[in-house]
Amino acid sequence: MQRANGRVHGHNAGMAVDQFTMRNPREMYPKPDFQAEQQPHPGSTDAMRPRPDHGEATYRGSGRLVGRNAIVTGGDSGIGRAVALAFAREGANVLVSYLSEDDDARETVRLVEKAQRKGLAVKGDLRDEQVCTGLVQRAVAEFGRLDILVVNAAFQNETGGIEEITTEQFDRTLKTNLYAMFWLCKAAVAVMPSGSTIINTASVQASKPSPSLLDYATTKGGIFTFTQALAQEVIGRGIRVNCVAPGPVWTPLIPATMKPDEVKEFGKQSPMERPAQPAELAPAYVFLASGESSYITGARIPVTGGTPVP
């Protein structure tokens, strides 16, 4: 890693502007007054105050994914957009899967193409098996090969407890967070060449579950277990499978699924006393997608702001 003019150039040069100088991580971003107005699901980036940082002005790649082709689900906004941006600046072509936010998806593709990589947005509900298998087929058709699968799209809805969770909500949460991962991974491992990687998005909720997110936390625990089991199976094909476990992250899902008074306090419970910005998650995905993590499979990288996970 090299340092010039107070800025860091190297593998960790992909987060907030303040990170290029030696700063207290609690103070990397100013503690904002989060927008309290609730949005309809899945939420819009443009409606968020403050606007999330995806690394637009700060992430600088170093060629770690040149020639790779990736799918990023939920890539229109939040963590998914930050990952798509970072992957593109590292040299990868990116297919962005999204549910309904057309403007957000177009912006992510614009960022990918600005990095002089191929970008493609594909709309669809991942609760449909054909949509999931179709994404893999589309990536192979457009790019010629699929090397990286990031299963990131998720659904959550806070409730007052188990009595408020309807069967419809439980079904939607499991279909979006677990079934889609199963369908996507099943289709991907059938076509991925040796050296490919799968990265699933788990959560601190897998080990520190909140009663108000019972169904969501259940799926996130399942994602980690699925990751460990699949990693052992497909390493024989030369495919690695890992997951990232975020803590609180400022994404459209928050004002779209949490109560206004909870949005105002979002992330303050972490030891960092703030939520992460999406840009702070992307380097973990880049690391797991790159050859630098060649001896890592079946692992979980916690990016929790200091909240311990067993």
Tell me: pLDDT of 137 over 80: yes
Average pLDDT over residues 291-301: 98
Determine the pLDDT at residue 17.
44
Given CATH 3.40.1190.20, say whether it is the number of domain 65-303.
no
291 beta partners? none
Summarised one tens digit per residue, pLDDT across range 26-74 is: 888 766 566 555 656 665 676 666 788 899 999 999 999 999 999 999 9
Return the active site residues.
216
Determine the pLDDT at residue 217.
97
Instruction: State the chain's mean pLDDT as an integer.
Output: 87
Tell me: pLDDT of 310 over 90: no
Domain residue spans in the chain? Answer: 65-303
Determine the pLDDT at residue 14.
38
Average pLDDT over residues 244-253: 84
Summarised one tens digit per residue, pLDDT across range 150-160 is: 999 999 998 98
